[in-house]
Each structure stands twice: as C-alpha cells, then as structure tokens.
Amino acid sequence: MTSTKPIYKDKQVKVILTDIEGTTTDISFVHNILFPYSAKHLPGWVRRNHELSSVQKILQQVKEITGNLHLDVEDCINQLMNWQSADQKITPLKTLQGLIWQEGYDKGELKSHIYPDAVKYLRSWYDTGLTLAVYSSGSIAAQKLLFKNTSVGDLTSLFDAYFDTTTGSKVESQSYIAIADKLSVLPQEILFLSDSFKELAAATNANVNVCGLNREDTVTDSKFDYVNDFSQIALRL
C-alpha cells in the first residue's frame, strides 16, 4: 500500500526526521551484519577495554539498571550479552555497540548499507534548505558511524542533529516533542520517516507529520501514508 500524494500539506514543515532501520538502511544490514559483529566481539572487547573511563561508565550503568552494584566485569558482560540476544533498546548496550562498531569500521571490516533513493533524496532535500535529522534506537555515535562509512562515502554533513534513546523512547510521544524543542521548531514543522507503526503513531500523537516506509511491501494497515522508497515522497515546497 503506497502513496504518491504530497506529504507536505503546506509550507510549514522545516525538518525531515528520519529513522534508520528499514528506512534509510536495509534492516538486514543491522540484524545480519552489525548485531552479529557486536555479539561476536563484545566479551573480548569489554575485557580488553574495561579500565577505560567510557567503558567504566557503561558498566556502572549496567549495575544501576540491574539494581546490583556488586556485579563484576564478567557479570556485566553476561548481562550485556543477554540484552543483545533479546534486542533490548538499553542505553549502555547501544553505547557499547557503537564503540565496537567503530573499531570494525576503522579496521575496514564494516561498510554501511544505505538505499540509493535515500542518498539521492536526502541530498536533494538538503540542497533545498530543509533541516535533516536522525532519530534511531542506536546510539548517536553509532548513527554517525553508519552515515560516515557508507559505500557512497561520508554523508554525515547532511544532518544537523542526531537523537537516540537518551532523548526518550521512539514509541513515546513526548520524545518527539522534546526533539522539536531541541530543534527550535514546532512539532507540526517536522516530517518523520519510519517503518515502525508504533513510532509513526507516537509521532502523530505529538502533532508531527509522518510518512511510513514500506520497502518490502508487507504493510497492511491504512492508518498512515506509506511509500516504498523516498522517490514516492512528493514534497510540496
């Protein structure tokens, strides 16, 4: 179910806020490449680097979240691995994954996927003067790494801001209100792109304009406008 009618219904919208997984990037890249990479390297990486202040902060957050301040390094590793296996959107895990992926990118072992239509239209929207921002469950550091290390080069200069779980859950309306406030715009001046029904619903409840991505043509609900790729987002500027 797709739409090619204008998503901008007037000239108020100033910001395009985009999700990553299933929106700009094939979800299989995240689940079949990034997640297995961090799972494979997490235990050894933490053991090698646990004395770094950044890693000490992550381990302290694990202790606080579990309510057990007596966990040792191995206990924390086990908890982090359990969260990873359950695909939990927990800040210390996301922060740690970003650090591990950075090492992978630096070694040339990782290269980010991004849909060609996303590259083309993000660049086009940037050139028209629209503000572009990212909102993903992955840490801000991981988001920047992904867009810096794509097969078509560094795309980070396109984005004015990045938001992650430190702003709030993507399925809570207050998060989108907070993002609007940080960007100094009204919620109705934002267009949010995502493949997640729950995220689209939360953004809508915050008075944010939304457009759903249905790249695999599997969406059956009709509550929101959906497109198969960015080329079908007909902007009325």
Domain that holds residue 221: 15-25+113-232
Q: Among 99, 103, 107, which Cα is nearest to 56's?
A: 99
Q: Is 1 domain-assigned? A: no
Token readout for 65 is: 């979240």
**Within a domain: residue 133?**
yes
Angle at 65 between CA 142 and CA 172, to 5 degrees: 65
Is 60 in the same domain as 133? no
Dihedral sign of CA atoms 75, 78, 83, 84 in order = positive
Q: In the prediction, which pLDDT does 234 show?
A: 78
* 99 and 170 assigned to the same domain: no
> Domain tally for the chain?
2
Rounded CA-CA distance 72/123 in Å is 47
Note down pLDDT in tens along the chain; length 237 residues.
555 555 555 558 899 999 999 999 999 998 999 999 999 999 999 999 999 999 999 999 999 999 999 999 999 999 999 999 999 989 999 999 999 999 999 999 999 999 999 999 999 999 999 999 999 998 898 899 999 999 899 999 999 999 998 999 999 999 999 999 999 999 999 999 999 999 999 999 999 999 999 998 888 777 898 999 999 987 766
The H-assigned helical ranges of 9-168 are 27-29, 35-49, 53-66, 73-85, 91-106, 116-127, 140-148
In the chain, the percentage of residues whose pLDDT exceeds 90 is 82
Tokens of 42: 């997490």
Per-residue pLDDT, 153: 94
Query: What does pTM read for this prediction?
Result: 0.83
The pLDDT value recorded for residue 89 is 86
> Six-digit token pair at 77?
């590793």
Query: Are residues 150 and 216 located together in one domain of the fold?
Result: yes
Instruction: Tell me how far apart the alpha carbons of residues 190 and 166 are, in angstroms, rounded to a whole number.
Output: 20
Return the structure tokens found at 118.
């996303």
CA 179 from centre of chain: 14
Q: Which of 75, 106, 137 is the last residue of a domain?
A: 106
Asked if 212 contacts 220 with a C-beta cutoff of 8 angstroms, the reply is: no
**How high is the pLDDT of residue 191?**
95
Q: What pLDDT is recorded for position 7?
A: 58
CATH number at residue 86: 1.10.720.60
Tell how far CA 20 is from the center of its chain: 5
Inside any domain, residue 186: yes
Lookup result for tokens 């090492």: 103
Mark whether 121 and 49 lie in a shared domain: no
